[in-house]
Amino acid sequence: MTRRADDFHAELARGVADIHRNPVEVALFDHDASTISGRAGVVVYPTSADEVIHVVRTCHRHDRPFVARGAGTGLAGGATPLDGAVVICLTKMNRVLSVDPINRFAWVEPGVLNLDLSRQMTALGHDLHFAPDPSSQQSCTVGGNVANNSGGPHCLADGVTSAHVLGLEVVLSDGQVVVLGGEEPEPDGFDLRGAFVGSEGMFGIATKVCVRLTQNPPTVRTMLLDFTSVRDGADTVSAIIASGMVPAALEMMDALCIKAVEEYVHAGLPLDAAAVLLVEVTGLVSDVTAQAERVAEIGRRLHARTVRVARDEAERALLWKGRKSAFGAVARIKPNYYLHDTVVPRRHLPDVLDEIYRIVDRHELLVLNVFHAGDGNLHPLLVFDKREPGILERVHAAGEEIVKASVAAGGVLSGEHGIGLEKRDYMSLMFSEIDLAAQAAVRCAFDPSGLANPFKVLPSPASCGDIQHVPEGAWI
């Protein structure tokens, strides 16, 4: 350990109590939930904004990069530290600070778990929830949701995280604290709050988040439609939207996924179907009844074999369990998986799905599709056994082709997982150099030092940053 490093660690320890330097412990933070590994330096668990400020100021003084981390459930390497960056783990800042149940917002710390926030509202007697509901919602944090502008099945009607964040307290990379947005609807100046949401930890660290809370719907109807062709299922999705409905959720699973899920949770899914569509309509009773009837009618017109309506909350929970445990169910097929996340215009869903099946066949892989059909957000899940020689190369090659096919169909690189390291080098598929320069300019305005989570999102060095080399130890 050099003298300079010793000074750095000693200074860090003066202002943050929970600090970890043991190489075995630190190595656990070399990656997030993606397959991309980096190298963590020191890991700190601040318990207050003051501790975050101290850590960030110390990093700034010593020119050390830092990475904010929530639960580490990200799938794009956004929280993967590179070059021994300091990992600032925010899971111990997990208090709900205040709740206004009438105007429906709450100030929370970034380490609050997504699902815990909604559960706490119930426990406090408020008929409210936090709308973004990524599949990892039992373990992901609100701060992570802010960083990734996370989505989830119920974002079709209610919007992604950005629509549910009113304000933020942020520690900038030089340790200054700023408040972006807030409880008032139209704060003066630029929408810095909006820019910060989805900035993948590269603009600073949120230490408080003002989240919007959503009323629980008085009536919910959850339906399962099954089809003998994926195209009929996809056409049903488009027809539902075109008929003037925005269901609370519109989720689809293909044949292999149905099989895996059914064997795992026994939800009574039809094993001979090519696709099932999970549709949820919510609201007041007459509206829900009318919408459910129209969904069933559209489905039957487009060749749905059966329309199953969940009779009670238990059956509804079972159907959702099937959808949300799809990723756990794949372990029954192969031990490893690689999950992609692209969006295509809904009208191109059937064609892009066909293309995905062709790509996967060409690379002799297996794919399960389980996705947010309502907003065209595909989640091809490539399953494999990493012990098989050469398979990772095939998985990556197929993944790249899937991303390219989605963008070629007029889609985007990521719907909710973010860019991180995983898709950084694909950004030029969607954006010109001029477009990317505009994004880099925003990053510079928030973090001129470039110390906040460097090397992510932007494929080329930011003009104001010190990003000049391919990071050591990056496995992309």
Contact predicate 468/189, CB 8 Å: no
Binding mask 156-175 for another protein (x = CB under 8 A): x--xx-xx--------x---
Can you tell me which of 46, 151, 153, 399 binds another protein, judged by CB under 8 A?
151
- 191 touches another protein by CB under 8 A: yes
- 22 touches another protein by CB under 8 A: no
Can you tell me which of 20, 92, 104, 394 binds another protein, judged by CB under 8 A?
104
Q: Nearer Cβ to another protein, position 45 or 455?
A: 455
Q: Nearer Cβ to another protein, position 84 or 283?
A: 283
Q: Nearer Cβ to another protein, position 6 or 100?
A: 100
Residues 260, 327: Cα–Cα separation, whole Å:
9
> Which of the ranges 63-71, 221-229, 250-258, 279-287 carries the binding residues for another protein, by CB under 8 A?
279-287
Q: Nearer Cβ to another protein, position 255 or 279?
A: 279
Q: Nearer Cβ to another protein, position 214 or 222?
A: 214
DSSP summary character for residue 46: -
> Which of the ranges 8-16, 35-43, 181-189, 357-365 carries the binding residues for another protein, by CB under 8 A?
181-189
- 198 touches another protein by CB under 8 A: yes
> Which of the ranges 35-43, 53-61, 254-262, 410-418 carries the binding residues for another protein, by CB under 8 A?
410-418
Can you tell me which of 46, 153, 376, 465 binds another protein, judged by CB under 8 A?
376
- 438 touches another protein by CB under 8 A: yes
Can you tell me which of 34, 137, 141, 148 binds another protein, judged by CB under 8 A?
148
The two three-digit tokens of residue 299, written as one number? 């489905």
The two three-digit tokens of residue 276, written as one number? 């099932």
Q: Residue with structure tokens 């830092």? A: 66
Q: Nearer Cβ to another protein, position 347 or 394?
A: 347
* The residue type at 331: A
Q: Find the binding residues for another protein in span 316-345 (CB under 8 A).
A: 343-345
- 290 touches another protein by CB under 8 A: yes
DSSP 318-381: HHHHHHHTHHHHGGGT-SEEEE--EE--GGGHHHHHHHHHHHHHHTT-EEEEEEEGGGTEE-EE
Q: Residue 193: which of 160, 167, 163 has the closest Cα? A: 167
Residues 212, 471: Cα–Cα separation, whole Å:
38
Can you tell me which of 73, 136, 414, 453 binds another protein, judged by CB under 8 A?
414
Q: Find the binding residues for another protein in span 239-258 (CB under 8 A).
A: 239, 241-242, 244-246
- 417 touches another protein by CB under 8 A: yes
Q: Find the binding residues for another protein in span 207-226 (CB under 8 A).
A: 215, 217-218
Q: Find the binding residues for another protein in span 109-138 (CB under 8 A).
A: none
Q: Nearer Cβ to another protein, position 186 or 364?
A: 186
Residue 350's contacts (CB-CB under 8 Å, 6 or more residues apart) are 230, 231, 234, 235
Find the angle CA(196)-CA(342)-CA(110) to the nearest 5 degrees.
30
> Which of the ranges 18-26, 332-340, 390-398, 427-435 carries the binding residues for another protein, by CB under 8 A?
427-435
Compute the least distance from the CB of residue 151 to another protein, in Å: 6
Could you list the beta-strand ranges (E) of 23-84: 40-44, 66-69
Q: How many CB atoms lie within 10 A of CB 345?
A: 14
- 1 touches another protein by CB under 8 A: no
Contact predicate 100/133, CB 8 Å: no
Compute the least distance from the CB of residue 179 to another protein, in Å: 10
- 7 touches another protein by CB under 8 A: no
Q: How many CB atoms lie within 10 A of CB 321?
A: 16
- 143 touches another protein by CB under 8 A: no
Torsion angle of alpha carbons 232, 217, 196, 418, nearest 10°? -30
Q: Find the binding residues for another protein in span 84-103 (CB under 8 A).
A: 100-103
Could you list the beta-strand ranges (E) of 6-162: 19-20, 40-44, 66-69, 85-89, 96-100, 105-108, 128-129
> Which of the ranges 35-43, 81-89, 326-334, 404-412 carries the binding residues for another protein, by CB under 8 A?
404-412
Q: Residue 89: which of 29, 23, 30 has the closest Cα? A: 29
Q: Nearer Cβ to another protein, position 41 or 204?
A: 204
> Which of the ranges 64-72, 114-122, 267-275, 424-432 carries the binding residues for another protein, by CB under 8 A?
424-432
Residues 193, 225: Cα–Cα separation, whole Å:
39
Q: Residue 315: exposed, middle, or buried by beta-carbon count in 10 A (0-12, 13-18, 19+)?
A: middle
